[in-house]
Amino acid sequence: MSLFDDDFYSTRVSRRAREDGRRDWRFGGRGGWRRWRGEGGLRPVHLAFISSMVSALGAVLLFGLIFGFGRGGGGSGAVVSVAGVSSADTAERIVQAASRVEPAVVSIINEQMLPAGGRFFRPEKDRDPDEELTLQQASLGSGVIFRKANGKANIITNYHVVEDADQVKAVLASGEVREAEIVGKDQITDLAVLEIDGAGIETVAAIGDSRQLRNGETVITIGNPLGLNNSLTMGIVSKSRRIIPVSLAQNGIYDWEQEVIQISAPINQGNSGGALVNLSGEVVGINSMKVADFGVEGVGFAIPMHNAMPVVEQLLDLGYVPRPYLGVYTLDLEQYWEQQVYEEWLGAEEDGEEGGDAAEEDDLKLPEDVKRGVIVLEAVGPAKKAGLKFNDVIVKLDDQPIGSTMELRKYLYGSKKIGEKVKVSYYRGGKLETVTVELAEKIDEEEEE
């Protein structure tokens, strides 16, 4: 039985063809072979004709294999063109892309003043205040050399790679260790820029347009996972644009959102700050994080370069990213209600009474329909100057409802500028009030707005 249902693709001889003297399968029908062969075999003219036909057919097939059939045209041409990209070609592109970027990827060593045994073996409260501290390696990460000027080379890495560092070192692809200076860092975007001596550095990574990435596109990660210098992993772009919640304080409370590229290539400890590379050998992202949960594999994230480079330029120019600053330490109202429920339950367990005294200590005095907002724990700077106080509950900035610290940050950073004024609507003692605050410039890394 044929693999095809259509007789056009079948090698079977139809009944009609047999009844018609097999005219479709023999040159000239009955006796046709005799007329072509003659009495002594094929004539020279016939041999020449057949030879010419075979040569012409071979030339057409060879031309098609080299240049592609119907490459500029319709449906079947497109299929042949895609099939013409061999796995060998893709493998060679991966090798070439990695070779272009790999020399520009460095290892980053975060060194901190720590007691003997390191901070991870003994809580700070249990340390002897007179104990001698020494400079020790606290963590490892990766970085990418992206610029060389005035005898210096600049490196992009993650904020969390150099966080709390007393000294930073960069290990080049050659194995040479160089002192690195932190030019600037930004916790919100998890980016930092370092500077090292540029002598002998020949390779600077090319920056690509991450907006051109497509789902399913092959990408490479280059970094320093688990302390293994310049390791390569490969995967695909699972999602070219993904918005994920981020806990800036690493306390499980999401207070920011980050746009990232989701990839299937593994990102292990030490890979943060390394390069996400397309098959053209361009850096399209900075590896940042992964989902570290039981049973989860191949879910990594990188910061897209079209978002990273404006931040990098500001870090190079100013050492920080200027943002509008309201000046409040906050707690989400929803989180406050959850704490109240827990304290009531705990009080009931301890006292054997329903609710205890927790409800009586609630002095927010909010209307029953107010369920979302931001509680001011402390007002400083512009907010204090405008009159905001402890336990004020912010529910709106200008005409934008505010239900969480994340929403407050997103509105300020996305819609306002330094020096502009913002109208703050808040509840105090159960009464809705408004105040106008002039936004200042925030230049530190404090967890406040």
The catalytic residue positions are 160, 190, 272
Phi-psi region of 391 (alpha: psi -120 to 50; beta: other; left: phi over 0): left
Q: How do strand 282-290 and strand 206-207 relate by DSSP bridges?
A: parallel
Alpha helices (H) in 292-386, listed in sequence order:
305-318, 333-351, 381-386
At 375, which amino acid appears? I
What is each CA distance from 345 to 49, 72, 332, 362, 367, in whole angstroms? 99, 72, 20, 15, 23
DSSP 154-172: EEEE-HHHHTT-SEEEEE-
CA 264, chain centre distance (Å): 11
Whether the Cβ atoms of residue 120 and residue 136 lie closer than 8 Å to each other = no
CA 229, chain centre distance (Å): 21
Rounded Cα distance, 364 and 345, in Å? 20
Q: How do strand 167-171 and strand 177-186 relate by DSSP bridges?
A: antiparallel
Quick one: tokens of 351? Answer: 């006292």
User: CB-based contacts of 140: which residues, under 8 Å, 6+ apart?
Assistant: 107, 108, 109, 110, 224, 227, 269, 270
CA nearest neighbour of 230 among 143, 321, 115, 134: 143
Quick one: tokens of 78? Answer: 């497109």
Rounded Cα distance, 223 and 84, in Å? 32
Quick one: tokens of 299? Answer: 């879910």
CA nearest neighbour of 110 among 137, 143, 88, 82: 137
Quick one: tokens of 4? Answer: 């095809």
Rounded Cα distance, 263 and 213, in Å? 11
CA 368, chain centre distance (Å): 41
Whether the Cβ atoms of residue 250 and residue 174 lie closer than 8 Å to each other = no
Whether the Cβ atoms of residue 143 and residue 275 lie closer than 8 Å to each other = no
Residue where the block lists tokens 């820029």 = 193
